[in-house]
Structure 1
Amino acid sequence: MEEYVYIDGKKYRRGYTTGSCAAAASKAATHMLLTKNKIETINIDTPKGIPLSLKVHNINICSDYAQCSIEKDGGDDIDATHTMHIYAKAEFIDRANEDIVVCGGIGVGVVTKKGLSVEVGKAAINPVPMRMIHTEVRSVIGSDLKNTIGEDKSLKITISAPEGVEVAKKTFNPRLGIIGGISILGTTGIVEPMSDDGWKKSLSIELQMKKEQGLDKIILVPGNHGEQFIKEKLGLDMKYVVRTSNFIGYMLKEAQRMGYKKILMAGHIGKYIKISAGIFNTHSKVADARSEILVSNLAMMKAPYEFLERINECVTAEGAVELIDESDYKDIYNLISNKCKSKIDQYLLDEEIEVEVMMFKMDKTLLGKSDDADSLVEVFR
């Protein structure tokens, strides 16, 4: 795909989603089912307004069905599904409730938990890709299938992804209760390189699922280390835990929007020290003032200049922790934790939401906590 965007002065190639692949494969398979002729490329429209002309692979035309695949291309935003093939099988079946029936085959996950945009028990084909499939297939068979094949038949489209069972293990699907394969995704049909939107949406979906399952309190952690801290050090039920990655401000606002009233936050000092200064996207490319924040707080605690110099020379927060642990300034951990809480309270401006913070170091040892963190931990037991 020769579509590009420029980000921070660099040129990045766009790609197309698994939803576009499914729609294109469905259209191509339907065309070949009707004509019994192979085609090399297929054209589709995308919600983004960018038309695609995609190469058709793995063609198999039989008397009663046609099948083919489209190779996923993530552009310069490569993910777990990049280069995998999304298949569509088109066949006529005895008359169903609809002219066009779309279902999932091998490698397409099945939804098992509430809170997603697809019903429990259905194939994980999201609403926009589903509409794209119907639109593209309808463009081949016409507005009335009865005129094409008769009143006693429907067209069945089966979307599959043979590599999807393994690929799904590298995605958020297991956490979202989508079992057996990948999801067919994409709200625009186009993959925007270097975009955080899809990642943030996946995190938010998990938060929404927990809410719809009846939870009114949540534990937010940046990632694996936070999960391990909650499980191994606090012994809390992991059903409450949702990852934020670096999008801490976004996930706090999402939790507020969804009506959570109690939020326990646990993270490594390297990320949470940024929150104490009001930095709510903790990716280093957005802001990295760890050393400056530590030095300024230690200075306010009247630490000697020589000690501040040594802290400032530390490349990592973990290195600074080693120095602080040997000093008389270990109270800084609780201080920073309380500052995190204060900044979060200012960020949310919602007195009904109780937020407490815990910070740990790399070996999951607790460093500091906000004043009422222990009380909130007990609420989760």
Structure 2
Amino acid sequence: MSTGGGREAQLKHTGLRPGWTTGACATAATTAAYTALLTGGFPDPVTITLPKGQTPSFALTAESLTPDAAMAAVTKDAGDDPDVTHGAVIRSTVRLLPPGSGVVFRAGEGVGTVTLPGLPLEVGEPAVNPVPRQLMREHVARVAAEHGAPGDVEITLSIDHGAEIARSTWNPRIGILGGLSVLGTTGIVVPYSCSAWIDSIRRGVDVARAGGLTHVAGCTGSTSERTVTGVYDLPEIALLDMGDFAGAVLKYLRRHPVDRLTICGGFAKLSKLAAGHLDLHSARSQVDKPFLAALARETGATTSLAAEIETANTGLAALRLCEAASVPLGDAVATRARDEALAVLRGAPVTVDVLAIDRAGTIVGRSAPKGP
């Protein structure tokens, strides 16, 4: 399979192999199934055209044909991206509809259904995002034109074990129940771009806003979620699984604000935000101990304590040194992280506060709430 030169050239220096979105796989399966329904034969491999012009080919995993319907399946290859849907079998069953019916999408087993407002799909619709829908419509129209057919079809998408896989995604929290979403804007999965995670953050904000919530929390993990719900008693849809992507939360809220944002995470991660990093992953940003030492000096640390902080093994070790000396480094980090968040929000009408925690979930630093 070929992605086309541009994306391959972009990734060549990393040595990482790109993959395919669920939307691209669903389009390939749909194209093969509809072709078989009209001609009696499945193209294998089946070639599709992605939104940016690449023309990958996909081998079929399974196929079946009856007088009324055709089913084709493609196994998703996410390349070198740690995607939970890598290896999932995506099936498309196509049936003819009366002329004038258009293209109708149905959720089969393992594909979720939208149950909450705020997503780019109406409540009750199958969780097949707008770009994959358009891509499938275009390919149906292309096949129909080649064979003189009207192009009115029902497409039922299913994903083997999709309901089970979906439990490890955001879908249940944002009201997509029963399975996975069919996603993708370019058709290509860029390794470690974490585009699906960032898209889930955005959808989480959308669902919270549509539900009338005025307070959301960006959390770095399950421990921070437990801490923030203990402090503020927020409903589950208010909890944004931010992970390491503080920048994704802040930039989206800049365009789609809510009244209040609480950021809750481990002290070390939040010290990176305090130092101006928006991606908190250990591979892409490090705890800056000289920065912590300078911050500690601003809050009363002695020269000798600051020197110990600079040589501490970890950020948490630096915090413990300050706690022993009654220097409020945790509060200073939380306050600086809040101010960095406000700078990214650029005057958006969002009040921010920050909770820094240790590994047990104990609050070790806290900022006052502050707005623009």
TM-score w.r.t. length of structure 1? 0.87
> Number of residues paired by the alignment?
367
Deviation at residue 197 of structure 1 after TM alignment: 3.2
Match of 2:39 among 35, 38, 42: 35
Deviation at residue 322 of structure 1 after TM alignment: 3.0
Q: Is the 8 A contact 1:5 1:13 kept in 2?
A: no
Residue in structure 1 matched with residue 194 of structure 2 by the alignment: 196
Does the residue aligned with 2:167 lie in a helix, a strand or coil?
helix
Greater CA deviation, 215-224 or 166-175?
215-224
After superposition, the Cα gap between the structure-2 partners of 1:257 and 1:73, relative to the gap in structure 1 and judged at 3 Å, is same
Query: Deviations along 1:126-175, whole A, 9 cap, x unmatched?
Result: 111111111112222228x9x648xxx94322111122111111222112
Deviation at residue 203 of structure 1 after TM alignment: 0.6
Q: Is the 8 A contact 1:56 1:69 kept in 2?
A: yes
- Paired with 2:112 and 2:234, the residues of 1 have a C-alpha distance of 29
After superposition, the Cα gap between the structure-2 partners of 1:339 and 1:179, relative to the gap in structure 1 and judged at 3 Å, is same
- Paired with 2:130 and 2:137, the residues of 1 have a C-alpha distance of 11
Match of 1:128 among 121, 124, 131: 131
After superposition, the Cα gap between the structure-2 partners of 1:182 and 1:5, relative to the gap in structure 1 and judged at 3 Å, is farther
Residue in structure 2 matched with residue 379 of structure 1 by the alignment: none
> 5 Å matches for 1:296-311?
296-301=294-299, 303-311=301-309
Match of 2:229 among 231, 235, 238: 231
Greater CA deviation, 217-226 or 96-105?
96-105
Structure 1 counterpart of 2:61, one-letter code = H
After superposition, the Cα gap between the structure-2 partners of 1:314 and 1:11, relative to the gap in structure 1 and judged at 3 Å, is same
Q: Is the 8 A contact 2:254 2:348 kept in 1?
A: no
Question: Aligned pair 1:350/2:347, yes or no?
Answer: yes
Q: Is the 8 A contact 1:216 1:259 kept in 2?
A: no
Structure 1 counterpart of 2:173, one-letter code = R
Does the residue aligned with 1:340 lie in a helix, a strand or coil?
helix
Deviation at residue 249 of structure 1 after TM alignment: 2.8
Match of 1:368 among 337, 343, 365: 365
Query: Deviations along 1:354-381, whole A, 9 cap, x unmatched?
Result: 22222221111111212358xx9xxxxx
Structure 1 counterpart of 2:177, one-letter code = I
Q: Is the 8 A contact 2:351 2:369 kept in 1?
A: no
Match of 2:247 among 243, 246, 249: 249
Question: Aligned pair 1:109/2:107, yes or no?
Answer: no
Residue in structure 2 matched with residue 77 of structure 1 by the alignment: 81
Residue in structure 2 matched with residue 10 of structure 1 by the alignment: 14
After superposition, the Cα gap between the structure-2 partners of 1:78 and 1:371, relative to the gap in structure 1 and judged at 3 Å, is closer
Deviation at residue 351 of structure 1 after TM alignment: 7.6
Residue in structure 2 matched with residue 60 of structure 1 by the alignment: 64
- Paired with 1:182 and 1:372, the residues of 2 have a C-alpha distance of 37
Question: Aligned pair 1:50/2:54, yes or no?
Answer: yes
Match of 2:331 among 324, 331, 334: 334
- Paired with 2:130 and 2:54, the residues of 1 have a C-alpha distance of 19
- Paired with 2:341 and 2:128, the residues of 1 have a C-alpha distance of 36
Structure 2 counterpart of 1:14, one-letter code = P
Q: Is the 8 A contact 1:274 1:293 kept in 2?
A: no
Does the residue aligned with 1:358 lie in a helix, a strand or coil?
strand
Q: Percent identity?
A: 29
After superposition, the Cα gap between the structure-2 partners of 1:114 and 1:321, relative to the gap in structure 1 and judged at 3 Å, is same
Residue in structure 2 matched with residue 285 of structure 1 by the alignment: 283
- Paired with 2:302 and 2:144, the residues of 1 have a C-alpha distance of 79
Query: Deviations along 1:221-273, whole A, 9 cap, x unmatched?
Result: 22222201112455444443223222223312321321323222222211111
Deviation at residue 206 of structure 1 after TM alignment: 0.7
Structure 2: runs of 5 or more not aligned? none
Query: Deviations along 1:36-62, whole A, 9 cap, x unmatched?
Result: 234421111000211011112211122
After superposition, the Cα gap between the structure-2 partners of 1:157 and 1:263, relative to the gap in structure 1 and judged at 3 Å, is closer
- Paired with 2:275 and 2:82, the residues of 1 have a C-alpha distance of 33
- Paired with 2:57 and 2:89, the residues of 1 have a C-alpha distance of 16
Does the residue aligned with 1:362 lie in a helix, a strand or coil?
coil
Deviation at residue 339 of structure 1 after TM alignment: 2.2
Query: Deviations along 1:312-352, whole A, 9 cap, x unmatched?
Result: 333322233333332232x2222222222333333334284
Does the residue aligned with 1:263 lie in a helix, a strand or coil?
strand
Query: Deviations along 1:176-216, whole A, 9 cap, x unmatched?
Result: 21111111111111112221333222211111111111123
- Paired with 1:8 and 1:325, the residues of 2 have a C-alpha distance of 47
- Paired with 2:82 and 2:220, the residues of 1 have a C-alpha distance of 22
Structure 2 counterpart of 1:197, one-letter code = S
Question: Aligned pair 1:359/2:363, yes or no?
Answer: no
Residue in structure 2 matched with residue 119 of structure 1 by the alignment: 122
Q: Which has the larger radius of gyration?
A: 1
Does the residue aligned with 1:12 lie in a helix, a strand or coil?
coil
Question: Aligned pair 1:177/2:181, yes or no?
Answer: no
Does the residue aligned with 1:48 lie in a helix, a strand or coil?
coil
